[in-house]
Structure 1
Amino acid sequence: MASEIFDKASNMGRTATLDEASALLRKIAGNREADETIKAVFRRLQRQLTGWSPGRIRDIWYRDGRVHVRAEEFEQLRSLAATRSDSGAQDELTELRNRIARLERLLETADEAFHGPTLAALRDQWREMG
């Protein structure tokens, strides 16, 4: 009876860690391109994860219950996921700035006399804000 309880608790803990590892792996992989296969995603992940076999990546991705995630693997996943989060925020900011610049150019070419003074005032305010 006591061993059954211990086995259930052990499986619950293993499942939670496997779920977390799989979620981190998916976060590192990011969004899949429209023409990209899951096999290509696994190859891309293997280039980022040192010492990981394709089968290991696949088993953790699909949360195979027979897999035990090691502490050093968790550390590697967490550090790569944190790096991905930081660069993702920076990429979003850069993308937003590029989009604003493109829209400003479109407004200027549409009617420079009408939009020019407004855009100049907005740019001045933006510079003052830093």
Structure 2
Amino acid sequence: MASEKSDKASEMSRTTTLDEASSLLRQLAGNGEAGESVKCVFRRLQRKLTGWSPGRIRDVWYRDRRVRIRAEEVEQLRALAEPTQNAGTDNELTELRNRIARLERLLEAANSPIAR
């Protein structure tokens, strides 16, 4: 009985790690070009991921339950995905600043007296 619980906990942990790895892999792939095949995406990822075989990338991408993710692989994915996440935050901040500046100009124009 205790063995069954530990097996289930181990399976859940493995699934969570696999889900995280797949999510990071998809984040690394980014937005592909229109008409780009998944095979091309896998090739692009293989150039970024040293030591990963095409089959390994495919299995993690599709969350194959037979795959065991090693800790160093997850760390590699996190390290590669981190700059992408920061770049997205910088873009969002720049867009927000531009939007605020535009809204301030509109507000100033609306508050200025109209000469007739």
Q: TM-score, normalised by structure 2?
A: 0.74
Percent of residue pairs identical: 68
Whole-Å separation in 1 of the counterparts to 2:25 and 2:80: 9
Gaps of 5+ in 2: 96-104, 106-116
Figure out how many residues of one structure are paired with residues of the other and give that number. Answer: 98
Using the alignment, how far apart are the partners of 2:11 and 2:80 within structure 1? 26
Shift in Å, 1:32: 2.0
Equivalences for 1:1-130 in 2 at 5 Å?
1-90=1-90
d(CA) in 2 for partners of 1:79 and 1:17?
15
Q: Greater relative contact order (Cα 8 A, min sep 6): structure 1 or 2?
A: 2
Please identify the structure whose Cα radius of gyration is greater: 1
**Aligned-residue CA RMSD (Å):** 2.2
Displacement of 1:89 after TM fit? Answer: 4.3
Where do 4+ consecutive residues of structure 1 move more than 4 Å? 89-94
Which runs of 5 or more residues in structure 1 are unaligned?
A: 97-117, 119-130
Q: Displacement of 1:86 after TM fit?
A: 2.4
TM (norm. structure 1) is 0.67
